[in-house]
Amino acid sequence: MNRKNKIEVFQMNNFKNVDFYQLANIYFEGKVISRNLFLKDSSKKTLGMILIGEYDFNTPSKELIEIDSEKLNLKLKGEDYWKSITEDMKFNVPKNSSFNLEVLELENYTCSYFDN
């Protein structure tokens, strides 16, 4: 039996010369899944996907989050309003903070972590 599957490819970044953990990080009952990447400069990133839903994230370290999005709402800690995202974006989250996402369609993301 010859099966062909349609696959949608989202290209955000192209990382070379990285180490990664095969074991996935699984959150929110499997609705958020990521993998850890370690770059040659010792920095850490996660690459992942988020299914439709509402999520509250805590950030023990400073993070830069890059989202490949067309339908997403974002609220950072301390803000009283939701920001509607209709195209790819990046946002910073301070150390020991949080943010909320309302995901309206499957999203791919990259998260970079910083010590300071």
What is the token pair recorded at 7?
């696959």
Cβ neighbours of 5 (radius 10 Å):
4
The pLDDT of residue 6 is 34
Q: What residue spans define the domains of the chain?
A: 19-114
Q: Which fold has domain 19-114?
A: Jelly Rolls (2.60.120)
Whole-angstrom Cα distance, residue 29 to residue 23? Answer: 16
Residue 108 in 3-state DSSP?
A: strand
5-34 pLDDT, tens per residue? 333 333 456 677 778 778 899 999 999 999
End-to-end alpha carbon distance in the chain: 54
53-112 pLDDT, tens per residue? 999 999 999 999 988 877 889 998 998 999 887 777 888 899 999 999 999 999 999 999
pTM as predicted: 0.79
